[in-house]
Amino acid sequence: MKITVLGATGGTGTHVLRQARAAGHDVTAVVRDPARLPDLPGLTVATATVTDPDAIGGAISGRDAVVSALGPRGLRAPTTICADGAAAAVAAMRRHGVRRLVVVSNSGMHVDDRDGPLTRYAVKPILKRVLAHAYADMRAMEDLVAATDLDWTIVRPPMLTDGPRTGRYRTELGRGVRGGNRISRADLADAVLRCLADPRTVRTTVAVAV
């Protein structure tokens, strides 16, 4: 599969690159600073501003799928990187006839019947206050992506760790993972790549957690 990755130098994006290349995919990383990328044989690098649809168009044209692992650098400051990056990706994908899009969001800003009382009434309300700016950006991204006619998937992880890739995690379509409060970035990347080839995940949300 030919995959373009936005947010390729972030914690999750780097794992997506490594795992996708290890699996034999043709991968293009869109970055501002190529020096921050891992040294991966066969990786194609496109230097561009991810919020500019014209700038990223060449890296999206002719691809099978786009993965956005964009995220704010400062979780407590106002930001629009996720929403702006998604808007640019959607515009470029429409222009070049690319349909498959997977974006990484979060599960902390969503409450459903899979959450226990502590999570629903204490943990998530606190997170929503502390991470209000980051959550607002990701919510805008989710709304934008879900309103498109693309073959999109929104992946919602809980707290991310730097643990290893284990493959031992749970997923739920359209609802949260009961009792799931963390996942490694490596396992999140594994889940993202699995979503790309799974038609059940098209036009729905996928919660993922240990």
Range 50-69 average pLDDT = 98
Strands 204-209 and 151-156: parallel
- Whole-angstrom distance, CA of residue 56 vs CA of residue 167: 32
Q: Which tens digits make up the pLDDT trace of 127-161?
A: 999 999 999 999 999 999 999 999 999 999 999 99
Quick check: 117 pLDDT over 90?
no
Distance of CA 170 to the CA centre of its chain: 17
Quick check: 76 pLDDT over 80?
no
Q: Which tens digits make up the pLDDT trace of 97-110?
A: 999 999 999 999 99
Range 161-173 average pLDDT = 97
Beta bridge partners of 66: 4, 101
Considering the entire predicted model, what is its pTM? 0.96
Show me where the domains of the chain are located.
Answer: 2-209
- Whole-angstrom distance, CA of residue 169 vs CA of residue 175: 15
Q: Which tens digits make up the pLDDT trace of 2-25?
A: 999 999 999 999 999 999 999 999
Beta bridge partners of 206: 155, 173
Q: Which tens digits make up the pLDDT trace of 31-40?
A: 999 999 999 9
Residue 61's contacts (CB-CB under 8 Å, 6 or more residues apart) are 92, 96, 98
The CATH class that applies to domain 2-209 reads alpha beta
